[in-house]
């Protein structure tokens, strides 16, 4: 199992060496607009990239916070039950 996982990780690392950060059309559009002095589109695409980067982390943080809040609430209820039974 560990050997298969290590081979898979090596394959992913090798594949990422040849990957481009942007598609050819996006890169061409950005280079043309920036060279013409229009940085609005570049800023928009950069904002979109940051949005796509942070969205999963925000979703995980919200789920973790809801889980924490629910577990604390259940813990408090359990403690109240114990004190009432005594």
Asked whether the beta carbons of 26 and 17 are under 8 A apart, the reply is no
- Joined together, the tokens standing for residue 61 give 């943080």
The number of distinct structural domains making up the chain is: 1
Query: 18-72, pLDDT tens digit by residue?
Result: 655 567 777 788 888 888 888 888 788 878 888 888 999 999 999 999 999 999 9
User: Is 54 within the bounds of a domain?
Assistant: no
User: Is 69 within the bounds of a domain?
Assistant: no
Query: Of residues 82 and 60, which shows the higher confidence score?
Result: 60
The residue segments making up the domain with residue 29 are 1-38
User: Is 11 within the bounds of a domain?
Assistant: yes
- Separation in Å, CA 69 to CA 11, 32, 57, 79, 80: 40, 50, 18, 15, 17
User: Is 68 within the bounds of a domain?
Assistant: no
Average confidence (pLDDT) over 3-19: 74
CB-CB neighbours of 42 under 10 Å: 15
**Cα Rg for the chain, rounded, in angstroms?**
24
Across 8-17, 29-38, 68-77, the highest mean pLDDT is recorded for 68-77
User: Is 58 within the bounds of a domain?
Assistant: no
User: Is 17 within the bounds of a domain?
Assistant: yes
Alpha carbons 43 and 51: distance in angstroms, whole number: 12
Average confidence (pLDDT) over 77-86: 83
């Amino acid at each position: 199992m560990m050997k298969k996982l290590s081979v898979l990780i090596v394959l992913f690392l090798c594949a990422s060496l040849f990957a481009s950060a942007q598609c050819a059309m996006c890169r061409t559009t950005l280079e043309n607009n920036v060279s013409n002095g229009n940085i609005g589109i570049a800023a928009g695409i950069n904002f979109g990239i940051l949005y796509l980067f942070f969205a999963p982390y925000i979703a995980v943080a919200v789920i973790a916070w809801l889980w924490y809040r629910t577990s604390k609430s259940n813990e408090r209820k359990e403690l109240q039950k114990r004190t009432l039974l005594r």
